[in-house]
Amino acid sequence: MTTEPRILFPSTTSMKKVAKAYQASPQSTLPDGFSGTRAVCLDFSPFFKELCVVGQLDGGCRVHHINLATPLITWPYYVFSRCTALNATCVVSDLKWSPNVPNIFFVLHANGDLHAFDLNRHDSAPVYSCALSAEVGFSESSPPLTKMAISRGLSNATELVLISSGETIFKRAMPTVNEFKERDLGEFLDRLITLAGSRSD
Amino acid sequence: MQFANGIDDTDFENLIAKSLQGKVCNRKGGQLATWSGAKTSTYVKHELLLRFLHRVSATCMALIRPHTEEPDDATVEHNAIRSQPSNPPLHEAGPWAKLCKSPKPEPVPCPERMLVCFTSRKCRSVTKLIFSRTHTSIFIALLQEPLRPNYFHPSKAAPLLDDKNSVQATIWDVRHPDTPVALLCEESVLTCACFAPSGTLCVVAGSATGLIILWDLSMVVTSRPDGHPEEPFMMGGVISNPQETVHKSTILELCPMLSSCTSPIHDKCLTFQLLSVDDCGLLAIWLVADSPLNIEGVVAHTIDTMNATAPGRDPRLICLRSLTVWSSVPTTLGGSFGQSPARERTESHLKISKDNEFGPLPPCISAFATLPGRSDEYLVSLSENSYCPPPPPYRTVV
């Protein structure tokens, strides 16, 4: 049994600690603009088994490749605050990859804000955002516990998103591509390789 | 006023000024637009007017846009981002629908028709929502607080429940939201769950007291072909031997080990492995085995309610091995984690924590998952404590 970890996904603080332990300069270890923080939830892509998206305590999220020590893409919390009224202390309560489309994942914050990312179209901000508090009408001052689940849906053209808000569960059918295109998968893979290459540089 | 294309358009300026109850005149140093207030006149440089027009253009567009965009309660920036047509399929998603049907009968009138609304005084939040991968319309909702027998009175399910046997989770079919398919009974609160990776409809859940419980739901599906029962099944589960409980604190996550069930023969059987982790950092690998294996030394306990398993099946939970997360944390990152003794965390302790008498105990692990490509490896994120900064998620092999 191997018990040594094979790779690290460091946060900023722990990277400084590692750097100190190895008597290296923290400044030289930390990549520019890297703003990792404690992971509170994660989900692996059903299409790319090496890819996972991690939700952060501060409301941000990031996408990791498990063979790379630093995230491929990081979205700080203020990226989400541009889309909805998210404040800085709103934790990511759940996140899920789309089961039908490889480049789409959903992020749910504790206040009920739902964001969808499409990495093929736009990797700097969500392409779709909605505030559940406004759409279904619960108080933002005391948001209930929110959780999310996504199914492939009852047909190939839709996927089913469930969001629980306290004791109530809401469902929404999300139209997706009618048929899966190999070209889309190829584009997404190329983009990931490019991102990974830019990181390693 | 001169436009970007070089054309002067005084008429346009006058039109704007007229709409602002003013006029345009020429003065030294540039062209000024003026308008009159009730008592005084104000002069505005045309650069400011241009800036103003640029700023209000988004607002004008929002006003011109049909009212379906809800411009009244949202900021212009919010509207601009929400209306980005960059992902038409998602943008065209329909409204949220409430899966809102309460089980029957309903002794306490609910203020709203909700999915889980058994009494109106206590909030029983859903703590986990998990879809079955093989049965895409079936999902499980774990409840923060159990449902008591008095809710079900005078249902025939009521006698099956007592103080030690409460409904902790509900199984739903999205095609028939009127009634849950099954109510899963257990004494302690369920904190995590997963569906079996094989084609069988089987749920394994972890409890706040460290138990692993298994429910075989295949009988529920096969016996209700229409999928619309009048009253949900109430099911007790198969519990790992309580006398030999591996976990002594809250189970945080249960992950099926997919590589253990890849052969076609496993599609129809119940045998698979899963990994459990508790908030003290103890990992355990479990084998869910069908009765034909008949491994000696396995003791299973079935709650005496309605059918817990499908006919002809006698699934067992066997702990194959256990280890601690701390054994693989590098000393440079582990800090005080490696020296932390296992803290026993009982359900009564959790209740005390909820009342803020001693404050809640922070879990030691904030996120955990097995790697889908190699299920003998896992990814774990350790939580911070007062002595140690937050260590990173790291990947290791069990």
Query: Could you tell me the two tokens for A192?
Result: 């990931």
Minimum-distance CB partner of A118 among B78, B87, B131: B87
Residues 6+ apart with CB under 8 A from B38: none
Residues 6+ apart with CB under 8 A from B203: B140, B169, B171, B184, B193, B194, B195, B196, B214, B215, B217
State how far residue A130 is from chain B, nearest Cα, in angstroms.
8
Whether residue A41 lies inside any domain: the answer is: yes
Residues 6+ apart with CB under 8 A from A6: B377, B395, B396, B397
Minimum-distance CB partner of A5 among B73, B330, B372: B330
Same domain, yes or no, for B87 and B130? no
Contact B96, B88 (CB under 8 A): no
Within a 10 A sphere around the Cβ of B360, how many other Cβ atoms? 12
Per-residue confidence (pLDDT) for residue B12, from 0 to 100: 55
Domain end position, chosen among B40, B66, B91: B91
Whether residue A188 lies inside any domain: the answer is: yes
Minimum-distance CB partner of A8 among B96, B100, B394: B394
Whether residue A2 lies inside any domain: the answer is: no
Whether residue B132 lies inside any domain: the answer is: yes
Whether residue B106 lies inside any domain: the answer is: no
Instruction: Name the residue range of residue A71's domain.
Output: 32-200
Inter-chain touch A160–B373, beta carbons under 8 Å: no
| Beta-sheet strand order (sheet of B138-147) | B126-131, B138-147, B166-173, B182-186, B233-236
By C-alpha distance, the chain B residue nearest A43 is: B369
pLDDT tens for residues B73-116?
333 333 333 333 333 445 456 666 666 444 443 333 333 333 33
**B230 reaches A (C-beta below 8 A):** no
Whether residue B289 lies inside any domain: the answer is: yes
Per-residue confidence (pLDDT) for residue B186, from 0 to 100: 84
Whole-model pTM: value is 0.67
Whether residue A20 lies inside any domain: the answer is: no
- Residue holding tokens 């419980």? B213
Whether residue A136 lies inside any domain: the answer is: yes
Same domain, yes or no, for B60 and B152? no
More confident call, A72 vs A179: A72
Inter-chain touch B141–A164, beta carbons under 8 Å: yes
Inter-chain touch B87–A172, beta carbons under 8 Å: no
Same domain, yes or no, for B87 and B149? no
Inter-chain touch A82–B112, beta carbons under 8 Å: no
**B352 reaches A (C-beta below 8 A):** no
Same domain, yes or no, for B183 and B329? yes
More confident call, B54 vs B33: B54
By C-alpha distance, the chain B residue nearest A105 is: B90
H and E: helices and strands count for chain A: 5, 12
Residues 6+ apart with CB under 8 A from B95: A135, A172
Residues 6+ apart with CB under 8 A from B114: A167, A168, B98, B100, B102
Whether residue B357 lies inside any domain: the answer is: yes
Same domain, yes or no, for B145 and B87? no
Contact B286, B271 (CB under 8 A): no
More confident call, B210 vs B373: B210
Measured between beta carbons, which residues in chain B are less than 8 angstroms from residue A123? none
Inter-chain touch A149–B131, beta carbons under 8 Å: yes
The DSSP H or E segment spanning B347 is helix B347-354
Whether residue B179 lies inside any domain: the answer is: yes
Minimum-distance CB partner of A135 among B96, B99, B100: B96
More confident call, B314 vs B105: B314
Same domain, yes or no, for B51 and B182? no
Inter-chain touch B371–A11, beta carbons under 8 Å: no
Instruction: Name the residue range of residue B69's domain.
Output: 10-91
Inter-chain touch A162–B137, beta carbons under 8 Å: no
Inter-chain touch B371–A167, beta carbons under 8 Å: no
What are the distances in angstroms from CA B163 to CA B107, B117, B146, B147, B214?
19, 19, 10, 10, 20
Query: Could you tell me the two tokens for B201?
Result: 């409809």
Contact B253, B369 (CB under 8 A): yes
Percentage of residues in chain B having pLDDT higher than 90: 2
Residues 6+ apart with CB under 8 A from B163: none
Residues 6+ apart with CB under 8 A from B382: B325, B329, B337, B364, B365, B366, B390, B391, B392, B393
Percentage of residues in chain B having pLDDT higher than 70: 36
pLDDT tens for residues A125-184?
888 888 877 776 666 555 667 888 888 776 666 677 888 877 778 888 776 654 556 666
Q: Tell me, what amino acid is at B31?
A: Q
State how far residue B354 is from chain A, nearest Cα, in angstroms.
15
Inter-chain touch A66–B395, beta carbons under 8 Å: yes
How far apart CA A82 and CA B147 sit, in angstroms, is 40
Whether residue A110 lies inside any domain: the answer is: yes
Same domain, yes or no, for B167 and B79? no
Q: How far is CA B139 from the centre of its chain?
A: 12
Same domain, yes or no, for B200 and B346? yes
Give Rg (Cα) of chain B: 31
What's the CATH number where B337 sits?
2.130.10
Same domain, yes or no, for B172 and B61? no
Same domain, yes or no, for B137 and B78? no
Whether residue A130 lies inside any domain: the answer is: yes
Number of domains in chain B: 2
Minimum-distance CB partner of B136 among A7, A8, A154: A154
Whether residue B252 lies inside any domain: the answer is: yes
Per-residue confidence (pLDDT) for residue A32, from 0 to 100: 41
How far apart CA B90 and CA B97 sit, in angstroms, is 16
Same domain, yes or no, for B131 and B85? no
Per-residue confidence (pLDDT) for residue B160, from 0 to 100: 56
How far apart CA B307 and CA B305 sit, in angstroms, is 7
**B128 reaches A (C-beta below 8 A):** yes
Tell me which range, A65-69, B77-81, B116-120, is most confidently predicted by mean pLDDT: A65-69
Cα end-to-end distance, chain B, whole Å: 73
What's the CATH number where A119 sits?
2.130.10.10
pLDDT tens for residues B247-305?
888 899 998 886 544 444 445 556 788 889 888 788 888 888 765 443 333 333 333 33
> Helix H segments across B65-173?
76-82, 88-91, 149-152
Minimum-distance CB partner of A38 among B91, B129, B383: B383
Whether residue B104 lies inside any domain: the answer is: no
Number of domains in chain A: 1
Residue B24 scores a pLDDT above 90: no
